[in-house]
Amino acid sequence: MAEPEVIVVGAGLFGLTVAERVAAELGLRVLVLERRSHPGGNCHSETDPETGIEVHRYGSHIFHCNDETVWRYVNRFSGFNDYRHQVWTVHQGRIFSMPINLGTLCAFYGRTLSPDQARALIAREAGEPSGRPPQNLEDKAVSAVGRPLYEALIRGYTLKQWDTDPRLLPPEIISRLPVRYGFDNRYFNDRYQGIPLAGYGGLLARMAATPGVEIRLDTDFFSVRDRLPAHRLLVYTGPIDRYFGYGCGHLGWRAVRMEREVVASGDFQGTAVVNYADAGIPWTRIHEFRHYHPERRYQDRRSVIFREFPCAPAADADPAYPIRTAENRRLFEAYRERAHAETDTVFGGRLGTYRYLDMHQAIGSALKCFETVIRPRLEGRPVAAAAALVDQD
Ligand code: FAD
Ligand code: UDP
C-alpha cells in the first residue's frame, strides 16, 4: 500500500466506521492496526467449529437503536433479522423475567398484581424519596424497584460484574434497564433491533473490505509505533491510559472471560441469555447462541453455550467496561487534558474515550467524528477547538 493518509489503531466498530468513511467518502488510503487476529473488536462473531452455530466470541451482542442514520449506515453492510432480546434471571433457584416488569413483580411477590397495585407496592418498598436525584447505582435501583428486588436481582449481579461497591458506581449503569408496569419483557425499547443476517463477523468483514482500507492484524500499535509510515492523522481507539504510558495512573477497567461448552441438547436453556443474580454463582450469564438466528437451520443434537465471568483485565481478557467511579472520572479528566495536546491524534470508541458505549453509539460517535473532526482536518479546513472527539457525548 502507498503511504496512508490516516492510521487507525483498533479495528472495532469505531475504527472500522472511521476507516470506511475516510476511504469511501474521501477516497483516501487508511491503514488499520489491530492487535487481535480478527477485525471487529468486541462485536466479533464466528462459526463454532463443532456445532456450526455462530458465536459472539466476547459475549452476546444485540443491535438496537432509534437513530435512523446509524440504522441506515449499518444496513449497508448486512440486513438484520427480527430477533427481539428477552432475558431471564435466576435467583435462589427461581427464574424471573428481566428487565423488571409486571411479570417479575407478580412472580417475586407471589401475587397477581395490577399495574396500579404494583406501582403502589414498589413506592412503599422504595421508601421516602430523598428529593434529590439518585447519586449512585444503589440509590437509583432502590428508588426504582425497592430494596427487596434490588437485593435479590441487582446487588449480587452488580458486585460480580463490577467488583465495586454499587454505591460508588454511577446511576447511569442501571438506567440502561427499563422498569415496566406492564408485561412487556423486551430488553430494549428501541425502534430498530436485530442481529445481522450475515453475522457480526460477516458485517464487520464487509466494512473492513472497503477499497482503500488495509488492515494489519496481530499488530500492536505500541510495537510498531516508531516505524509507522508517514501519515496525516492518527485515530486511536485503544485504552486511553495505555496511550499515555499510564502517566496519570491506571484507569479502572473491567473485562470478561468466556468459558465455552458444547452440550448434548438442541436447546439448553430456551432463550439466548439467562442471568445469574446470586453472588454465590461465579458467572453472571449464560449465552446460548443458537437463539440469535431463528432464520438459520442449525443441527438440533448439540448446542454451544458460553458462561461469562467478569474479571480484571489480563493477558487473555482485554479492558472492556470503564468503571466510572468518581475517582476514575477524575483520572480520565487528566488524560483528557493530555489528549487535547495531541493535535494529530483523535481518540475514539469505548476504550479511547472511557465511555460505556453500545454499538449504535460507537458507530454514531464515529460518524460524527468523521464529519466534525476528521473530514475538515483532511480537507484542510479549520476544526472547532471544541470538536476534539474526546469531548463529544
Ligand atoms: P472495541 O470493540 O473494544 O474495539 C477496539 C479495538 O482496538 C479492539 O479490537 C482491540 O483489540 C484494538 N486495540 C486496542 N489496543 C490496541 C493496540 N495497542 N494496537 C492495536 N489494536 C488495539 N453493545 C450493544 O449495542 N449491544 C450489546 O448487546 C452489547 N453487548 C456487549 C457485551 C459485552 C460483554 C461487551 C464487552 C460489550 C457489549 N456491547 C454491546 C458494546 C460493544 O461491544 C461496543 O459498543 C463496541 O465494541 C465498541 O466498539 P469500539 O470500536 O469502541 O471498541
Ligand atoms: N444488572 C443487574 N442484574 C441483571 C442485569 C443487569 O444488576 O440481571 C445491572 C448490572 O449492574 C449491569 C447493569 O445492570 O452492569 C447493566 O446491564 P446490561 O445488561 O445493560 O449490561 P451489559 O450487557 O452492558 O453488560
DSSP-derived secondary structure for 22-78: HHHHH---EEEE-SSSSSSGGG-EEE-TTT--EEETTS---EEE--HHHHHHHHTT-
- Residues enclosing ligand 2, CB less than 6 A? 89, 98, 153-154, 157-158, 161, 173-174, 176-177, 275, 277
CA neighbor of 390 nearest in space, from 346, 357, 360: 346
Q: How far is the CA of 42 from the centre of ligand 1 (A)?
A: 4
pLDDT computed for residue 389 by the predictor? 53
pLDDT digit string, tens, across residues 84-137: 999 999 999 999 999 999 999 999 999 999 999 999 999 999 987 778 889 999
Strand partners, 286: 274, 307
Q: Please tell me the pTM assigned to this model.
A: 0.97
To test the pocket of ligand 1, the residue of 14, 34, 42 to mutate (highest count of ligand atoms within 8 Å of its CB) is 42
Query: What is the three-class DSSP state of 224?
Result: helix
Q: Please state the length of the chain.
A: 393
- Residues carrying an active site annotation: 176, 180, 254, 285, 308, 356, 358
- Is the Cβ atom of 366 under 6 angstroms away from ligand 1? no
Residue with cell 500492536: 220
Q: How far is the CA of 111 from the centre of ligand 1 (A)?
A: 42
Q: What is the mean pLDDT of the chain?
A: 95
pLDDT computed for residue 132 by the predictor? 85
pLDDT computed for residue 386 by the predictor? 46
Residue ranges of alpha helices (H) inside 234-298 are 240-243
Helix H or strand E segment including 221:
helix 221-224
Cα of 255 vs its chain's centroid, Å: 11
pLDDT digit string, tens, across residues 10-58: 999 999 999 999 999 999 999 999 999 999 999 999 999 999 999 999 9
To test the pocket of ligand 2, the residue of 90, 176, 283, 284 to mutate (highest count of ligand atoms within 8 Å of its CB) is 176
Give the ligand whose atoms come closest to the C-alpha of residue 174: 2
Average pLDDT over residues 203-225: 98
Helix, strand and coil in the chain, % to nearest 5: 35, 20, 45
